[in-house]
Structures are given as structure tokens and as C-alpha cells.
Amino acid sequence: MGLAKLTAMGDDRDVTHTRAWVIAILLWLITTGITAFEIAPASVLTLVTADLGVSPTAVSWLVSVFILGMAVASLPAGLLLDRRDNRLVILITAVLFLVTTVWSAWASQTGAFYSLVVARFFSGAVNVILWTASINIVGTAFVRSRQGTSIGFLLTAIPGGFAISHTITPTMAAAIGWQQSFAVFGLWTAAWTVAFALYTRGLDVRTHTSIPTRSDFATVLSNRWVWALGGLAFAAFSLNLFFNNWLPTYLLDEFGFTLAQGGLFAAVFPAIGAVARFASGTISDRLMGGRRNPIVFGSFVVIAPLILVITAVRSVVLLVIVLVVAGFVTQMGVALLLPYVREIVDDNVAGTALSVLNLVGFGGAFLTPILTGYIIEYTGGYTMAFVYATGLAVFGIVLAWIVPE
């Protein structure tokens, strides 16, 4: 096993591989609370529309505006994190995130829809800083030959948080009200951040030792392959949000599921995605010598026809099987984009490269729920929305074919 690059203050010993994994697990737990908060409105969409008196498309804005906040803050986040102590940034942003979740719960309870929108925008802006810092720390904690595995593990927190939200938010809605679930997920994040702070106290978790210059930043921002990987993130993130945002409602409308049943079945997609994200890094690192492109390309090739198959399925058993396969292959590609983009630039500007990928990727994730919402309302069905998703997959195939290893 390799030793981590992180060093203990006042101690020349490298942090052990085990300690690096503990850090990764704590950051995983922090991130699940954030992603559960992100998708929570979609997990109880019908309740939110009824209680706030808005349309399903308006509720989709509650998810999309969170992504918009992430997209807007992505580039500043990368520039900040390449110059500051990432551990301290995580502690500060976790506090700010808790404030925005309490704000969101209050706005929901009082029916202040536009205040809720603003609160979730700031939640997204804070989250992208915390998220990028987490990737930086995990990417530094493991030797290069294990970065795909470790970052892939951290990325399972996104579908993991989605699955948690789809599963327990309907239950919390019945017990304490869906509005309070926002604050619950904020408290979850804060509690694990305290654990992370205590565990890493006395450790130097700087992600690099040299401060990048303006020329270094300019080199990253002019790198066409960084932007090309951002385009792949646009397609992959969009597909991820498409399924997680509309799948619960699709199951209610097309199969007559209850809210709880729809959430449980919709959780299949992100749950299997969590397995795929971890598996893809391990496969890439250990079986493919660190190659990323074949898995990214293959994921888009498989998902494109499966999207159209979903619209034709009328058997619940067959639907679950298709969702398992679709969720697995989609998330395999997503997981490798982050180590992929970090590995084509110098370590001291890895945060900036991540921010470019996040900027483009989250831009797609922001647009997709809104656009598909309009398509569904305009056409009165889901077919054209799934056609749009298929187009995203085809775009991913073309771009992945062009981007070099």
C-alpha cells in the first residue's frame, strides 16, 4: 500500500494509507448531507408544489438554482483553493452551509418561495467550494496510482446523498414536515465536519506547497482539453440530474406509485451509481493502468440506447433492471472525470482545473431540470424529455472519442 502525501505537523512521518482513508470517509459523510439537501425538493415534489402553490417546473428551480450557485462560484472556488488552506476553507464553508439550510427551512415553512430560491442559490455557491476542497484533499492524500480509486470513492457521496434523500425525505415529510428536512441535512453536514476537524487537527493537509502564478492560471484556462473534459461533464452531470430530478415523478405519473414507493424505486438509480463510481476508479487504476478515457467513452455508448428503452418499459421488474444498468454505466463515466482533469495539469493548479470542469458541468446540470420541465409541461408527457437526454449521451460519445487519454 502507498503512503499518503499529507504530513503531520512537527512529525516527518507520512500519514498512513489507513489514515488517508479515514479522511476520505469523513469527507464522504460531509458530502452526503449536502447532496441529500440538494435533491430533497425533487424527492417530495408533489408535496412542495402543493404547499408552496407553485408548478412542478418552479419546484425544479429549487434544484437547478442550487446547481446555478455551484456553477457561478466554481471558478472563484478554484482560484481560492489553490491559494488557501483547504482544511480551513472546509470548516468555514460548512458553517455557512448550515446557515443556508436553516434559512431554507424557515423560508419553506413560511411559504416564502423566492427567499427559498435565494437561500438554495447560496447553498450551492458554498457547496462548490467545500466540494472542490474535499476532492483536492483526497486527491493529495493518496499516491497518484490510487487517485482514481480514492476520488471515485468520494464521488459516491453524490449518488449516496441522492439515495438517502429519495429514501428518507418522504418519511421525514410525514413525521416532521418536508420543510424541516433541509435543516436536518444541514445538521448532518455540520456534525461530520466537526469530526473531520477533530481528526485532522495537528495535520498539515495543504494540497500543494507552491503558490500558482497568474501565468499558471492562464495556462489552465487556455488548455483546450480541460474545457473538453468540461464538455463531457456537461453531458454527464446533466444526465445525472435528469434522472434524479424527474424519476420519482415519472414513476408516480406513469406507474401509479405512491410518493414513498416512487422515492424508494428512484433511489435505485443513485444507489447503484455509488457502486459504479467506486468500481470505475478501481478498474481504471488497477486493471487499466490508470487509463480514464475508455471507461468514460464506454459509459456514454451504453447509456444512449438505454434511455430510450426506459420509455418503452411497462413492467416494474424490467424497469428496475434497466435502471440498475443505466445508473451503473452513467456513474462510471462521471467518477473518472475529476481525477482525469486533475492529472492533465500541475498539482498547484488542480483546483482551477476542477473549477473549469465544475463550471461547465454544473451549467448543464442547472439547465437540464428546467429545460426538461418545460418539455414535459409543453408536450404533456415524458417522451421528448427522454429524447433530449439521449441527445446528451450522443454528444458525450462524440466528445469522448475526440479527447485523448
* Averaged pLDDT, 272-301: 80
Q: Supply the pLDDT for residue 167.
A: 85
| Residue 365 near residue 67 (C-beta atoms within 8 A) | yes
Is 88 within a domain? Answer: yes
Between the ranges 32-36, 342-346, 401-405, where is the mean pLDDT highest? 32-36
pLDDT digits (tens, 9 = 90+) for 72-126: 888 888 777 777 778 888 999 999 999 999 999 999 999 999 999 999 999 999 9
Number of domains, the chain: 1
Is 2 within a domain? Answer: no
Distance CA 187, CA 180 (A): 11
Where does the pLDDT of residue 1 fall: very low under 50, low under 70, confident under 90, or very high at 90 and above? very low
Q: Supply the pLDDT for residue 125.
A: 94
Q: In one letter, which amino acid is 39?
A: I
Q: Supply the pLDDT for residue 82.
A: 72
State the residue range of the domain holding 360. Answer: 17-402
Q: Which residues of 200-237 are buried (b: 16+ CB within 10 A; e: fewer)?
A: beebebbbbeeebeeebbebbbebeebbbbbbbbbbbb
Is 203 within a domain? Answer: yes
Q: What is the CATH number for 307?
A: 1.20.1250.20
Residue 12: pLDDT above 60?
Answer: no
What's the grid cell of residue 236?
454527464
3-state secondary structure of 5: coil
What's the grid cell of residue 115?
427567499
Where does the pLDDT of residue 396 fall: very low under 50, low under 70, confident under 90, or very high at 90 and above? very high
pLDDT digits (tens, 9 = 90+) for 214-247: 777 787 778 888 899 999 999 998 888 787 777 7
Is 12 within a domain? Answer: no
Where does the pLDDT of residue 13 fall: very low under 50, low under 70, confident under 90, or very high at 90 and above? very low
Residue 334: pLDDT above 50?
Answer: yes
| Residue 236 near residue 361 (C-beta atoms within 8 A) | yes
Q: Supply the pLDDT for residue 210.
A: 59
Is 316 within a domain? Answer: yes
Is 343 within a domain? Answer: yes
Q: Supply the pLDDT for residue 204.
A: 58
Poorest-pLDDT segment among 47-56, 265-274, 328-337: 265-274
pTM flag (> 0.85): no
Distance CA 14, CA 110 (A): 51
Is 286 within a domain? Answer: yes
Is 239 within a domain? Answer: yes
Where does the pLDDT of residue 270 fall: very low under 50, low under 70, confident under 90, or very high at 90 and above? low
10 Å CB burial of residue 315 (0-12, 13-18, 19+) is: exposed
Place of cell 493548479: 349
